[in-house]
Structure 1
Amino acid sequence: MSATDPDLLARAQAGDSAAFDALVAPHRRRLHTHCYRMLGSPHDADDALQETLLAAWRALASFEGRSALGTWLYRIGTNVCLRLISQRPRRLVSSEYGPAFEQTAELGAPVPGPVWIEPLPDDDGLADEAVEDPAAALQRRERVALAFVAALQHLPGAQRAVLLMREVLEYTAAETAEALETSTASVNSALQRAQKTVAEKLPAVSQAAELQALGTEGLERLLGAFARAWDARDVPGLVALLTEDARFTMPPLPAWFDGRAAVARFLTERVFQTPWILRPLRANGQVGYACYLRAAGDDRFRLGGITLLSLRAGRIGGLHSFLDPAVHQRFGLPMEIAAPDR
């Protein structure tokens, strides 16, 4: 049965909640990803999606089918996000919160609250890749990358919505204007301003394009060298894989380190004072690791961070480690693993 089957819609409009769930099921994941792009946090996107579906349920009797159900849902979801944006500060990356740290002895207290850009597991945002052609898959990765989501947060809510509706959802200017209750001229003007701001914030080459340029074999070589150096606590070997301006960030801690020398010092003086085990994962269309550490006196390794790598010209330009346990839970990973047999 099609999700837009008239009988299914009629039953949902008559109050059948199971029919409503079936009606919106094909749209839930993409709606969530849209809300994530708007808000910069999968947890905020959870709230927005829940509010969107509740509003849709309450208003379903008035849905007359003049537009596609998905279009109607996106309209509701976008306006929910716009309201949330007006009530909350924008999400930040570490370099926007404060200057890089020069010393490693004190990393600062965790900064709580809705402050930081948070990662989205690929299972949430990229599940369509298996059935997409390579060009579409590349575009989808670009539109969920951390850098793109972070750039969006610099836009006023209305510009954010216009850019996503026009360039990601591929609505016409007229459809976007109708959804946002504004004029086509306003939409076109907002799109131009949004495009300019985002272009200024984005790297010259997207992470998706960097991965494509490396290719499968090149990526395997780079990640293999990274994992071997990390396992051996080989700081010179790791530093050799970094760009000169590589960064190491670790929200919700305010500390971050800028440049190969600073990152090398942090690895030596802090990171490798503790044993680690890495397990590969992907989020935001980027490669990364679940990082398990073993504290002194402990016989197990416990999940300490989700680290995503930013790549540039075949090297690693950023290690973005997310230390918040609430972020870790999103990935459905074991919280601890046994020490490997040596």
Structure 2
Amino acid sequence: MAGSNQRPVVYFREVTSDALLVKRAQRGDRNAVDTLLRENYDIVRAVCHRIVINTSDAEDATQLALMAIVRALPSFDGRAKFSTWVYRIATNAALDELRRIRRRDVPNDDAKFASISVGDATNAIDAQMDVSAALAQVAEEFRVALVLRHIADLDYEEIAVILEVPVGTVRSRLSRGRAQLTALLGNQGESNHRQNNDIGGQP
């Protein structure tokens, strides 16, 4: 009987760990703040890198996101899941960094997609094409949705909350983003196939 009473206690601790850490952090417990940052660092970094792409700029976005989390902790009210709140901050930091980059020196390449023909995604996967390189060329609003869905593993409702758009818009962006990514991967696969044939034809 004693053993059966232990399970609810363990379950309770698991469910409330983030909430307890947040409360401690909001009371000024630096160890709790450090723990929250450490536990969320990997996913914040992954989101920033997949959205921003460029390694140096993505690291800047990661640091900005972590600092924003610390600054905003006192205002976290628990209405959203803590993880969703973290993803929103990471996404906003990454998008802010992209805007800064564009102001600095990067042109808008969205027009390129008008000329992309749909390729065979299966061939691209078989050829082990670089998904990150292709993802970098997906239009920004679609790339963000793809990252939140497939990297952060969020559901449509959580993505809608983070991006402040209807769920239908999330579905549309994911669909169009996947279409662009598939086309890019297929296009890369065809290009590499032609290059390999040229190399193979040399005496």
Question: TM-score surpassing 0.5?
Answer: yes
> Secondary structure of 2:130's match?
helix
CA contact (8 A) 1:13 1:60 kept: yes
Counterpart Cα distance in 1 of 2:79 and 2:159:
15
User: Could you say which residue in structure 1 is the equivalent of 2:135?
Assistant: 152
User: Could you say which residue in structure 1 is the equivalent of 2:56?
Assistant: 43
Deviates more, 1:73-82 or 1:161-170: 161-170
Q: What amino acid sits opposite 2:41 in the alignment? A: R
Count of residue pairs brought into register by the alignment: 166
Which structure's relative contact order is higher, taking Cα pairs within 8 Å and 6+ residues apart? 2
Structure 1 pair 203/8, CA: closer, same or farther in 2 (3 Å)? same
Question: How many Å apart are 1:64 and its aligned residue?
Answer: 2.2
Counterpart Cα distance in 2 of 1:176 and 1:56:
18
Gaps of 5+ in 1: 93-141, 207-241, 247-257, 265-342
* 1:18 maps to 2:31: yes
Q: Which has the higher strand share?
A: 1
Deviates more, 1:11-20 or 1:76-85: 11-20
* 1:175 maps to 2:158: yes
Question: How many Å apart are 1:91 and its aligned residue?
Answer: 11
User: Could you say which residue in structure 2 is the equivalent of 1:58?
Assistant: 71
Question: How many Å apart are 1:176 and its aligned residue?
Answer: 0.9
CA contact (8 A) 2:64 2:93 kept: yes
CA contact (8 A) 2:46 2:151 kept: no
Structure 1 pair 202/90, CA: closer, same or farther in 2 (3 Å)? farther
Map 1:37-116; keep pairs closer than 5 Å: 37-88=50-101, 89=106
User: Could you say which residue in structure 1 is the equivalent of 2:199?
Assistant: 260
Question: How many Å apart are 1:162 and its aligned residue?
Answer: 0.8
Counterpart Cα distance in 1 of 2:78 and 2:94:
23
Counterpart Cα distance in 1 of 2:107 and 2:153:
25
Q: What amino acid sits opposite 1:21 in the alignment? A: D
Question: How many Å apart are 1:159 and its aligned residue?
Answer: 1.2
> Secondary structure of 1:202's match?
helix
User: Could you say which residue in structure 2 is the equivalent of 1:198?
Assistant: 181
* 1:245 maps to 2:195: yes
Counterpart Cα distance in 1 of 2:134 and 2:26:
39
Counterpart Cα distance in 1 of 2:90 and 2:178:
22
Deviates more, 1:33-42 or 1:192-201: 33-42
Tell me the alpha carbon deviations over residues 255-307 of structure 1, each in whole angstroms, 9 at most, x when there is no partner: xxx95279x9xxxxxxxxxxxxxxxxxxxxxxxxxxxxxxxxxxxxxxxxxxx
Structure 1 pair 91/42, CA: closer, same or farther in 2 (3 Å)? farther
> Secondary structure of 2:195's match?
strand
Q: What is the Cα-based RMSD across aligned positions, in Å? A: 3.4
Structure 1 pair 29/259, CA: closer, same or farther in 2 (3 Å)? farther
Counterpart Cα distance in 1 of 2:130 and 2:108:
12
Counterpart Cα distance in 2 of 1:90 and 1:29:
29
Question: How many Å apart are 1:17 and its aligned residue?
Answer: 2.8
Structure 1 pair 244/179, CA: closer, same or farther in 2 (3 Å)? closer
Per the normalisation by structure 1, the TM-score is: 0.42
Q: Which has the higher helix share?
A: 2
Question: How many Å apart are 1:163 and its aligned residue?
Answer: 1.3
| Runs of 4+ off more than 3 Å | 1-7, 203-206
Gaps of 5+ in 2: 1-12, 110-124
Q: What amino acid sits opposite 1:200 in the alignment? A: A
Counterpart Cα distance in 1 of 2:67 and 2:107:
25
> Secondary structure of 2:17's match?
coil
Counterpart Cα distance in 2 of 1:7 and 1:187:
32
User: Could you say which residue in structure 2 is the equivalent of 1:28?
Assistant: 41
Counterpart Cα distance in 1 of 2:46 and 2:18:
24
User: Could you say which residue in structure 2 is the equivalent of 1:307?
Assistant: none
